[in-house]
Amino acid sequence: MFHYNNQTASEIGVDFSKNAIRGLLLCGPPGTGKAYLAQVDANEAQVPFAYASAPSFQNMFFGVGNLKVMGLYKKARKLAKVYGACIIFIDEIDAIGMSRGAGSAGGGLGGLMGMGGSGLLNELLLQMDPPNMDNNGFAKLLRSLRLRKKKAERLAVLTIGATNLPDVLDTALLRPGRFDRKLWVDAPDYDGRVDIFQYYLEKVTRDPELTPERVALDTIGYSPAQIKHIVNESVVIAHQRGASVTKYEDFRAAMETYEWGLKQPLRSMSEDERRNVAYHEAGHAVAQFLLKPQERLWKVTIIRRGDALGLAATKPTHDRYNRSDSEMLAEIRVCLAARAVEEEFLGKKLNGVNSDLRQATQLAGAYLGAVGMGEELFSWLAIGSPEEGLKALRPKINELLNNEMNKVKKLVTKHSDFVHAIATQLLKRGDLTGEEIEAIYLGLYGEKRPAAQDAMIHREIFSSLSEAASAKEMVDKAELDS
């Protein structure tokens, strides 16, 4: 990772032995392989590797944690003298490296009892960037007798820290000379997931349809640890059904169990309540299918999983890193589609939309008050209080939600046959896959799912006449240019 060619460096007048990088901070979500990356780096450099968990330094007796840190770095320097360098990896470094201004982290009973506090952090800061002092007693004796003239040797000890919360770390840890570099270890992209699946699936007796390329598309956003877990769970599911070969259906079942929880059917639910849930989820499914062409419908179910009586889920068609205004509005309509179907098809309002309305309100607030997609460029992020921003924008948020509700009502009414067909099949079978829903749409309308909408169709998303007029000019100009 940070290995240098000293011969090349000397040609340009740089001595990396005296100016070696002292620290590297690995940041990223859990399970992305930060500890494994540090271990691989030590193996590549052919130097000793020491692993320590930051919480293990904490102790109920004052000063014990400091001694542990001192002992770790003392041993690392001895090894560095023998092997040329040594790498120390400290996992969950935020446990002892939190900012000293963050409440009780700087003292109090926890600091006095050795549970961390500024004392342990100060010791870590000192050991990571120590003063130039001799490391053994004989050298110190020669120095005191003025018989040792050369500068004290600075041994190459690289500290690699890992954390999920880099923002809470003390600024003294992040300065040059301690954590000189910061590396973000994120979830793997498509190519990375294919490589990881190839490694794990080689160990599994699997059906030819269970390919790394196929499952890599299903696991966008998954970490390597999650991928390993899903592969193992799919093998368990295959074993439970008495099969010797793991199929794609087993992998899919493992993903659904991991993301949503185990199936827990409610046998006592009345037919009327099942019908309510079926139409509720059918509303979401129709809106997702027609309004989100950049995503594929994964599954719709009215079988309870976790605390949800039913759900309609989509998966991205590819790795994505941003969203447009039209996509945010489409997401709001998807949230409101269940209430629209309840009013238009059932003639009543149900209490199952509380999470839908909350999400729609948050999206509308972000649309208007965070990312500047409305008439104003004001962002509540500047004042650091989304709650105050939501209160200030409440009239505009409510207006936007009502406009989107009217649009999604027209959508589900226009495709009433589609809504009824999905709800009927859900009542019969309990759940439907995205492929089965696409087959229903093809049977009803004789065509496949609508492709991604272009700028001309998106004229309807604008909430003001001025925005619509400017959009029309943009589209007309594009038509003339083409």
Segment 269-292, tens digit of pLDDT:
999 999 999 999 999 999 999 999
In this predicted structure, what is the pLDDT of residue 64?
A: 86
In this predicted structure, what is the pLDDT of residue 298?
A: 94
CATH number of the domain to which 65 belongs:
3.40.50.300
Q: Are residues 255 and 311 in the same domain?
A: no
Cβ atoms within 10 Å, residue 424: 15
- Is the per-residue pLDDT at 6 higher than 50? no
Last-in-domain residue among 234, 260, 286:
260
Q: What average pLDDT does this structure show over 389-409? A: 92
In this predicted structure, what is the pLDDT of residue 169?
A: 93
* 308, part of any domain: yes
Last-in-domain residue among 165, 184, 203:
184
Cβ atoms within 10 Å, residue 53: 15
In this predicted structure, what is the pLDDT of residue 189?
A: 95
* 117, part of any domain: yes
Q: Which of 28-32, 415-419, 455-459 has the highest mean pLDDT?
A: 415-419
Q: What average pLDDT does this structure show over 38-45? A: 87
Q: Are residues 220 and 297 in the same domain?
A: no
- Is the per-residue pLDDT at 13 higher than 90? no
135 in Cβ contact with 77 (< 8 Å): yes
As a whole-number percent, the residues of the chain with pLDDT over 70 amount to: 82
* 266, part of any domain: no
DSSP 206: B
pLDDT bucket at 16, cuts 50 / 70 / 90: very low
In angstroms, what CA-CA distances link 222 with 50, 193, 314, 375, 431?
28, 8, 15, 36, 24
Cβ atoms within 10 Å, residue 145: 8
pLDDT bucket at 387, cuts 50 / 70 / 90: confident
- Is the per-residue pLDDT at 139 higher than 60? yes
* 99, part of any domain: yes
- Is the per-residue pLDDT at 110 higher than 90? no
Q: Are residues 111 and 235 in the same domain?
A: no
- In a 13 Å sphere around the CA of 147, the CA atoms on its Cβ side amount to 6
Q: Are residues 210 and 157 in the same domain?
A: no
How many Å apart are CA 11 and CA 33, to the nearest integer? Answer: 36
Q: Are residues 345 and 382 in the same domain?
A: yes
Q: What average pLDDT does this structure show over 452-471? A: 38
Positive or negative: CA dihedral 201, 202, 203, 209: positive
Positive or negative: CA dihedral 67, 68, 71, 72: negative
Q: Please provide the average confidence, as pLDDT, over all residues in the chain.
A: 84
Q: Are residues 372 and 275 in the same domain?
A: yes
Segment 316-367, tens digit of pLDDT:
999 988 889 999 999 999 999 999 999 999 999 999 899 999 999 999 999 9
pTM to 2 decimal places: 0.80
* 475, part of any domain: no
More confident residue, 48 or 377: 48
DSSP per-residue letters across 238-280 = HHHTT-SSB-HHHHHHHHHHHHH--B---TT--HHHHHHHHHH
More confident residue, 165 or 110: 165
Q: Which domain holds residue 419?
A: 271-451
pLDDT bucket at 217, cuts 50 / 70 / 90: very high
Q: What average pLDDT does this structure show over 381-408? A: 87
CATH number of the domain to which 232 belongs:
1.10.8.60
CATH number of the domain to which 340 belongs:
1.20.58.760
Last-in-domain residue among 225, 260, 295:
260
Q: Are residues 77 and 119 in the same domain?
A: yes
Q: What average pLDDT does this structure show over 37-54? A: 89
Q: Are residues 150 and 198 in the same domain?
A: no
In this predicted structure, what is the pLDDT of residue 382?
A: 79
Q: Are residues 222 and 150 in the same domain?
A: no
Q: Judging by DSSP bridges, how do beta strands 311-316 and 295-301 pair with one another?
A: antiparallel
How many Å apart are CA 405 and CA 410, to the nearest integer? Answer: 9
DSSP 299: E
* 459, part of any domain: no
How many Å apart are CA 214 and CA 207, to the nearest integer? Answer: 12
- Is the per-residue pLDDT at 452 higher than 70? no
How many Å apart are CA 277 and CA 275, to the nearest integer? Answer: 5
* 140, part of any domain: yes
- Is the per-residue pLDDT at 482 higher than 70? no
Q: Judging by DSSP bridges, how do beta strands 86-91 and 431-433 pair with one another?
A: unpaired
Domain count, the chain: 3
Q: Are residues 206 and 173 in the same domain?
A: no
DSSP 458: G
In this predicted structure, what is the pLDDT of residue 117?
A: 55
In this predicted structure, which of 15-29, 103-117, 118-132, 404-418 has the lowest mean pLDDT?
A: 103-117
As a whole-number percent, the residues of the chain with pLDDT over 90 amount to: 60
- Is the per-residue pLDDT at 466 higher than 60? no
Q: One of 92, 281, 331, 404 is an active-site residue; which one?
A: 281
Q: Are residues 435 and 301 in the same domain?
A: yes
281 is catalytic: yes
Q: Are residues 142 and 33 in the same domain?
A: yes
How many Å apart are CA 189 and CA 179, to the nearest integer? Answer: 27
* 265, part of any domain: no
In this predicted structure, what is the pLDDT of residue 135?
A: 64
